Amino acid sequence: MKRQLLNLLVATVIVFSCSKDDSSSGEEIPKSNLKEIESFEFLASDNEGLDTDVVASIDESEKLITATMPVGTDISNLKPSIQSSPLSKVTPSDQTRIDFTQAVEYAVTAEDETSIIYNVNIEVAKSSEAKVTSFNLLTSINSDGTDSNQIYYDIEANIDETNKTIKLTIPEGSIDSGLIPSIEFSVGATITPSPEDVLVEGVNYTVTAENGDTNTYSLLIEYTPNERKILIDLYQANLENLLNWDITSLNIAEWEGITLYDQRVTQIDLTNKNIENLIPQIGKLTQLTDLVVQNTDSALKMNSIPEEIGNLTNLRSLFLNGNNINSIPASIGNLTQLDRLALNSNRIAWLPEELGNLTNLKWLILSDNNIQFLPISVGNLTSLTELFLNNNQLQEIPEELGNLKEIKVLRLRTNKLISLNNSVIDMTQIETVDLAYNDFQQFPSQLIEMDNLKNILFDGNDLQTVPATLGDMNNLETASFYRNKLFLIPEELGNLTNLKTLNIQRNFLFGIPQPVCDLETNYGTQIIKDNRTDCY
């Protein structure tokens, strides 16, 4: 600034002196020959992308102007701010945007029309950043559906900048399919090995910054079950299946009966799809919460349950009904999150003690099998609310069944029971007891103690009478004694004012007490009886 003021003062003195001489002598005033670039700047206010002003260095002896711009600056369209000697002119002007990717010449012309050339060299600072910013495996590059080992969803690696690691979780076997990563890294940097190279386990990636600084990242690979391959193996192990799957499709969420969450299989429903073989690999689908392989209407049926099913520890419901399964593996005891288990309509003859580990089970269906006895451990299933054991070969039930204090529905229809033990009195929440088609000759007195009982089903037994105390069961809504040997019913049943249905058909009754008949007219009870059974 001092220099600029001095030059201006000198020029003013010269002009003033010349003017004075001209006025006195009439001689021509000499023109200024000053032609220097005094400052060369790039102002942030004039140049998008600059956060601060950049002042260039001027080497007057070499007539060279240099500046280093911040990393990443686009120097192809910059507008400089230039100060030059008084009365001089700069070309190009500082109103012109210039491409500084190559050296630029600036001419400074003095008032006397003499000129000089300045060379302006602008460069961009070299980045010291050497980072891997993203590391992905894309199906668009790596998969066409022809190889079951191929990845079937896009995979994003976790980059730990502190420890310089790239953690990649990929399906088992997929590394053998020749994976090509998609890698992004710092601008201006280079990386080795090349992103175009096939992924190799244990490789290190070195990123070299523009200024030569380097960082090396270790690739860490973890494997997750290749669930698409497992499903394809299941498909191919059941050649007569009725599954409508396009096994070349990468989107397994579109496959019939398959539900995903976060790219993991969580539900499988293969109802009536002719599945004979539940392959051992099914045990690797560890995020499964629901597995259904019902074959009630299928020509082909499963004969066994693989031991590996015990690895599915997140299962909440398991439905394998309508098959030819004859045993349950002990590993089923590992499924402690299970709350619904249906194994009805199979050929199961015995139950493993490990079944008692399923303490969260609420709903257990074992009807239509060949079960002759229940393990003592069934008493551990204290969360059960419904237990179905219809159409088996049971001759007794264990005392431990009385531990099931939450149970509301107990179905033991079509077995060989002749009595109940006293432990059932402890089932204080029970509402429905189905003991139809057993061998009872006497009504179980224990049922009278069950205050919440609403439905009792005693069809197809050998009862000759029912106790008068049955009339004290005020909550009873259904009482069915179809096809027994009843020759009388107590008039105390007329006290059951909440009764909706009373079935006494196909017995040896000569008549019905009038108080019982009055239930029909006074309370709308439906009394199902033989045509010739009248009131008395």
Q: Read off the pLDDT of residues 499-529 as tens digits, 9 standing for 90 and up.
A: 999 999 999 999 999 999 999 999 999 999 9
Q: Is the pLDDT assigned to residue 44 strictly greater than 70?
A: yes
| Side-chain half-sphere CA neighbours of 121 within 13 A | 7
pLDDT digits (tens, 9 = 90+) for 400-453: 999 999 999 999 999 999 999 999 999 999 999 999 999 999 999 999 999 999
Radius of gyration of the chain (CA): 46
pTM of the model: 0.80
Task: Sheet with 115-124: list strands edge to edge.
Answer: 57-59, 64-69, 115-124, 104-109, 89-91
Helices vs. strands in the chain: H and E counts, helices first: 4, 31
Predicted confidence (pLDDT) at residue 22 exceeds the cutoff of 60? no
Average pLDDT over residues 180-192: 96
| Percentage of the chain modeled with pLDDT above 70 | 95
Write down the pLDDT at residue 26. Answer: 58
pLDDT at 12 over 90: no
Q: How many CA atoms lie within 13 A of 18 on its CB side?
A: 12
Averaged pLDDT for residues 43-47:
96
Q: What is the pLDDT of residues 364-386, one digit of tens each?
A: 999 999 999 999 999 999 999 99
Describe the strand order of the beta sheet including 158-160 as a list of residue ranges.
158-160, 165-171, 214-224, 204-208, 190-192
- How far is residue 295 from each of residues 281, 324, 510, measured CA to CA in Å? 20, 9, 47
pLDDT over threshold 80, residue 13: no
What's the chain's average pLDDT? 94
C-alpha distance from residue 92 to each of 76, 112, 120, 241, 439 (Å)? 15, 19, 12, 80, 113
Are the CB atoms for 327 and 353 separated by under 8 Å? no
Residue 443, pLDDT score: 97
Instruction: Report pLDDT for 373.
Output: 96
Report the alpha-carbon distance of residue 357 to residue 382 in Å, rounded.
Answer: 10
> In a 10 Å sphere around its CB, with 0-12 CB exposed, 13-18 middle and 19+ buried, how is residue 50 labelled?
middle
Average pLDDT over residues 15-38: 69
Look at residues 500, 493, 498, 536 and name the one whose alpha carbon lies nearest to residue 516: 493
Set out the domains of the chain in order of their start, with CATH numbers.
Answer: 37-124 (2.60.40.2340), 132-224 (2.60.40.2340)
Question: Is residue 311 very low, low, confident or very high in pLDDT (cuts 50, 70, 90)?
Answer: very high
Q: What is the pLDDT of residues 236-293, one digit of tens each?
A: 999 999 999 999 999 999 999 999 999 999 999 999 999 999 999 999 999 999 999 9
Q: Predicted confidence band at 64 (pLDDT cuts at 50, 70, 90)?
A: very high
